[in-house]
Structure 1
Amino acid sequence: MSDGQRVHMGPVRVAVIAASSQVRASLQMLVEANPALGFVGSAADAETLVDCLAGSVPDVVVADIEPDASDPLKTLFALGHVLPALVLLSDDPDNDGILDVLPADAAAILPRNAMPGEIVASIEAVAAGLCVLSPDILARLLAGRKPSRQTASGEPFEALTLREIEVLAMLADGLGNKEIARQLDISDNTVKFHLSSIFGKLGATNRTEAVMLGMRYGLVMV
C-alpha cells in the first residue's frame, strides 16, 4: 500500500504502454472517454514512453506487458520522487511471481480481458493510493505475512483438510498446478485456493517449504 492518499488537482494523468497499437488505441479511447481522467501519452514499451513524456511523470501507467519487462518499468518509475501508480494487464494475473516485479506501491493487477469499467475503476483506485488484487493474490499475501502457527509440540496449529493433504502429497511428488487439477478433477483456481490455505496453515512461504513442513509433521511421505 502507499504511504497515503494521492491528491490530484484536475483529471488523473494516465499514460499507456502496450506492444499492440490496437490495444494502445483502445486504452486511449477508454481514458479520453472519462472526464475524470486525462490521457498524456502512449508507447509500445517503457523506454519509448520515457522519451515521449520528456521528464513528465504521469499519475497512473496502464501497462499491457509481461511482468518480466519490469526493469524498463522501474526506469520509468524512477523519473521522479512521486512514483506513478500502475495498472498491469496480464494473461496470468494470479502468477506467483508477479508481485515480486511490481515497481509501484499502489498497483492493480487485472486480466487482459478485464471490462472497461474495471480498468477505469482500477485507475481511479490506484490514483487514490490503493491496490487492486484478485482474491487469490490477496490470500497468498495474507498467508505469507502470517507467522508460523505451531503448538508447543511443533504440530500445526490448524489441521489440514483431507483434500489439502492430497494436494500437499501431490506437491511432494513434484506435480504442478495443472496436473493436480487434472488428477483431482478440479479447476486451477481451486488448486491455488488450496495452496494458499496450506501455506497459511503450515506457515510456509513457498511450495518447497510446504512439502518440508508436511514431512516434518508426518502429513506426507516421500
Structure 2
Amino acid sequence: MAPVRVAVIAASSQVRTSLQTLVKALVEANPALEFLGSAADAETLVDCLAGSVPDVVVIDIEPDVSDALKTLFELAHAPPALVLLSAETDSDWILDAPPADALAILPRSAMPAEIVASIEAVAAGLCVLSPDILAKLLAERKPARETASGEPFEALTLREIEVLAMLADGLGNKEIARQLDISDNTVKFHLSSIFGKLGATNRTEAVMLGMRRGFIMV
C-alpha cells in the first residue's frame, strides 16, 4: 500500500514549525506515513508540492477558512482529508457542509497525541469532532422535540446524557465524578441542568423522563 501523504498549512511560522516537527516525528515512527511539506497558505503549498496531492492536510486556520481551502481543492485533483485547528471551534462555519469527506475539527489547544490520532483517523476515512462540537452539530440538525403537553423541551448535551445514563445505573454524585474525572460541583451543575431541561424534580423522575424522550435506554 502507498504511504499516507501528510502536509501542513499554518500562517504563523512558529505554529508551522511546531506542526511540522510533530508530523515528522509521527512519520518517523510510522512508515505508513510520508511528510510532503508545509507552507503558509494553500496556494503556496500546491506550488511547493509540484503536482503531488497530500492525503491529509493539517491546517491551523481562522474561521474565514473558505478561500484558502477552495484554492487548494481547485488546484488539486481530489480534496485531501483535513485536520482543522482553530481557536473558534464554536463558530457557525462549523455548521456548514464539511469541505472534505473526512475531516477533524480540533481546538488550537489540542494535545499532540490528539492531533496524531486525528491524522490517523481521517486517513482511514473517519471524522473526528470534540464532544462540544458534536453536541452543537446535533443540536442544530435535530428537529425540535415536544413534551406530552405539546410544549418543546431542550435537548441534553452529550455530557448530560452521560450523567443521566449513570443516574439510571444508580450511581451517586461522587461515583459519577470519579468515572468522568470531574468535580462533585460539576456533577451537581450537570444534574441541575438536566432537571431543568427535562422538567424533573428528582433523580428518579429525571431517569424516567430521559427514557421516555429517548435520551437513554436501560
| TM over 0.5, shorter chain | yes
**Which among 17, 30, 33 is matched to residue 22 of structure 2?**
30
User: Comparing both chains, which one has the higher relative contact order based on Cα–Cα distances under 8 Å and sequence gaps of 6 or more?
Assistant: 1
Structure 1 unmatched ranges of 5 or more: 1-8, 161-186, 202-222
Give the secondary structure class of the aligned counterpart of 1:103.
coil
Q: Kindly tell me: are residues 140 and 45 of structure 1, through their superposed partners in 2, closer, same or farther at Cα, counting changes over 3 Å?
A: same
Contact 1:77 1:104 (8 Å CA) reproduced: no
Q: Which residue of 1 aligns with 2:99?
A: 103
Contact 2:59 2:84 (8 Å CA) reproduced: yes
Q: Which residue of 2 aligns with 1:68?
A: 64
- What amino acid does structure 2 have at the position aligned with 1:114? A
Q: Which residue of 2 aligns with 1:20?
A: 12
Q: Which residue of 2 aligns with 1:48?
A: 44
Q: RMSD between aligned alpha carbons? A: 3.1
Contact 1:67 1:101 (8 Å CA) reproduced: no
CA distance in 2, matches of 1:131, 1:58: 17
Q: Which residue of 2 aligns with 1:134?
A: 130
Deviates more, 1:80-89 or 1:58-67: 80-89
Q: Which residue of 1 aligns with 2:177?
A: none
Contact 2:61 2:86 (8 Å CA) reproduced: yes
Structure 2 unmatched ranges of 5 or more: 157-185, 199-218
CA shift digits 1:134-190 (9 cap, x unpaired): 112111222223233246975326799xxxxxxxxxxxxxxxxxxxxxxxxxx9xx9
Contact 1:31 1:38 (8 Å CA) reproduced: no
Give the secondary structure class of the aligned counterpart of 1:140.
helix
CA distance in 1, matches of 2:117, 2:73: 22
Query: Percent identity, aligned pairs only?
Result: 78
Q: Kindly tell me: are residues 101 and 41 of structure 1, through their superposed partners in 2, closer, same or farther at Cα, counting changes over 3 Å?
A: farther
Contact 1:70 1:102 (8 Å CA) reproduced: no
Structure 1 residue 124: deviation in Å? 0.6
Give the secondary structure class of the aligned counterpart of 1:89.
strand
Tell me the TM-score normalised to structure 2 length: 0.62
Q: What does residue range 182-221 of structure 1 map to in structure 2 within 5 Å?
A: none
